[in-house]
A and B are shown apart, each in its own frame.
Chain A
Amino acid sequence: MVDLREERTSSLPPAKIGLGVFLAVVGSLFALFISAYSMRMNMVDWRTLPVPALLWFNTGVLVMSSIALQWAQMAARRNDMDVALVGLLAGGVSAFMFLAGQLLAWQQLNAAGYFLASNPANSFFYLITAVHGLHLMGGLVGLGRTTAKVLRSAEASQIRLSVELCTIYWHFLLLVWLVLLGLLTGWTDNFVDICSQLLS
């Protein structure tokens, strides 16, 4: 016997579920890049390229960006839209800094002779950082629209939802970046070895 009054579908807003599903797709995309990378790096001719120190700085900036958005989300929750705006702007600016830093890192590698096509490791490095950067740029569009909502003082519940969605997306991209960084710097080599031992 079913009581209809308890038959309500989940109370989460559709946009949030939508973002969740989208993140699953993005996660699967990066997981596939990572598995392609791990398969390739086990071949004998693999030469890992030196990771520019700049990446560590960039990572710090991306962490700051995530923290700023978390801060904005908490402010939006208490209806403090001025602080939320500051958080959003800080998050946006630091995300731009991260992207600029990544471009600079590319330039440094290029200057040092590590070109896109000269070695599979290089190709993977440029490709994976580019895909991550593109996702962040897409996030910046969403962040811009959210900021516009705050500026024209849209309805508080709408702002709260938008800010929350941006924050989730940012944390997710930070997490992806940390995993990628581990992979690109060779930190996770042992782990990858263990995985490939299990498979072969």
Chain B
Amino acid sequence: MIHIEIDEISKTFGATSALHPVSLAIPSGALVALLGPSGSGKTTLLRILGGLEYPTSGRVLFDGQDATGLTVQERRAGFVFQSYALFRHMTVFENIAYGLRARPRRSRPSNPEIARRVARLLDLIQLPYIGARYPNQLSGGQRQRVALARALAIEPRMLLLDEPFGALDAQVRKELRQGLREIHDTTGLTSIFVTHDQAEAMELADVVVVMSMGRIEQIGKPSEIRARPKTDFVREFISV
């Protein structure tokens, strides 16, 4: 469980600025939603936390220590991508084992140990029998859960999810929301997910960060945001 601080982070791509300096503190163990329309900078912020993008200015702190310069590998952030980015030429088992096999030899678990851990993760996502399948033989909901298991396999310090429910139909979406909540509560990992769906953010998150045009509009518990929207944008966005 780590405590994440974002200190005056900004990001520009050429002439356009995706993020104006934003600051945010995320308490350890929280489930946080970055909520906003497309182009609000929420995905950019998530990618900066994961080390996939470097900020133009500002700092990221993990447990009070400067993590801005850490490479993506050093961050050990479990990242779930928007369309899951499962390795299509590998079985589900190999997908989940990938992060463990990529470790340097001295910290790499033995093969039986890897098999045990993958089996445990498959149990956690409630898909114990799909290890031998390929990603294109899975449904959308199953792919999402495999992506989650793959991210959890590296024993991450935090969980970052980019529109984890974006590619799913309404029914599956509802079921998997519950699934994510359960996995968050079992692992206790500080988790941040990006969404444009206010109902999803409000239902699932402990803390919601509403963003628009590269700025943070409001930070608060869902009930607070509902009761006292700070700006017109927030009021309109959550009333949809």
Task: Say whether A associates with B.
Answer: no
A-binding residues in B (CB < 8 A): none
B-binding residues in A (CB < 8 A): none
